[in-house]
Amino acid sequence: MNWITNYVRPKFNSLLNRKDMPENLWIKCPETGEMVFHKDLEKNQWVVPASGAHLKIPSKERLNFFFDDAQYDEIDLPSVTADPLKFKDHRRYTDRLKENRAKTNMDDAVRVGVGKVKGLDITAIVQDFTFMGGSLGMAAGEAIIKGFETAIERKTPVVLFTASGGARMQEGILSLMQLPRTTVAVEMLKEAGLPYVVVMTNPTTGGVTASYAMLGDIHIAEPGALIGFAGQRVIEQTIREQLPEGFQRAEYLLEHGMIDMVLPRTQLANKIAQLLSILTHKPLDQSKLDETDALEDNAETTETASETAPEAAPAEQSA
């Protein structure tokens, strides 16, 4: 079979001028089973157009879609000791790091970028779930802290996109120490009087939820995002009760007051810019807003004006 695949088939293809078909040309929607063309998904920020299912998006692509014209400065992040505990299970931790670095072209699970969103200067911190499940280790913790320090230095708001399974077990207590360290960084930002917006994506769990993910001024979640500390099965086994349908999903948390809003990924940049414009008292670049958002803003302004306008006095009846 290998001889046919490796030798005979390429010969036939070369004679017929046929090209190999990429394996990831079509992607299956996890909710409906619909096959979606890869390019259509990319254009729609990895959201299935028909069902609205939000697939995982690489951190670099998220930053490209978030910032105006995909223009931003990526911040150099501090280096840390790669394997402080010399951890090994059935594989060495260093081997896992090498594999994930080759797969993602990242040093660790966090990227930090500074640029303009609808004309506003913003520092964005993004966790990439592709890199070891977005787990929080020393390098990720240092990167997040660097992001907050950069925002304080440049006097910009912070928007943090979370996507993580929690603390990285291969770094033990050193990983858990990133929870209080990042919490201190959040407090530093607030003392500087700068806004902090958290966008929780699927999934946001474990120690990340227990620290900086729930300390924002505004909490936004993408539709269907799993958000919680312990897993649903662990909770059910502990309390010996069946949890309600949709438990720990973004819509459930919104209904119970844990987050402020649930927004599709395609609307995040506009809505976040509008919110930060209010919090920072800085104007937006209207030319960068989507046409639909500009129309909605004008409609809201007109409606508000009509509500606040004094009613006209009734005409006097003639005798």
Measure CA of the first residue to CA of the last residue in the chain; give whole Å: 104
Tokens (6 digits) for 271: 């809505």
Contact of 93 with 143, CB cutoff 8 Å: no
Q: Using alpha carbons, list the distances in angstroms from residue 260 to 26, 200, 222, 275.
A: 35, 11, 11, 12
The separation between CA 282 and the C-alpha centre of its own chain, rounded to angstroms, equals: 24
Closest-CA residue to 260 (of 319, 196, 316): 196
Strands of the sheet containing 261-262, edge to edge, are 72-74, 110-117, 120-127, 158-164, 196-204, 218-221, 261-262
Phi and psi angles of residue 111, each rounded to the nearest 5 degrees, phi first: -120, 150
209: which residues sit within 8 A by CB, 6+ positions away? 162, 166, 227, 228, 229
Q: How many other C-beta atoms can be found within 10 angstroms of the C-beta atom of residue 49?
A: 15
Per-residue pLDDT of the chain (319 residues; tens, 9 = 90+): 566 666 666 665 666 555 555 567 899 998 888 999 989 999 999 999 999 999 999 999 999 999 999 999 999 999 999 899 999 999 999 999 999 999 999 999 999 999 999 999 999 999 999 999 999 999 999 999 999 999 999 999 999 999 999 999 999 999 999 999 999 999 999 999 999 999 999 999 999 999 999 999 999 999 999 999 999 899 999 999 999 999 999 999 999 999 999 999 999 999 999 999 999 999 999 888 875 555 455 444 344 334 434 444 444 443 3
Domains and CATH numbers, the chain: 20-55 (no CATH), 57-287 (3.90.226.10)
Q: What is the CA radius of gyration of the chain?
A: 24
Contact of 277 with 284, CB cutoff 8 Å: yes
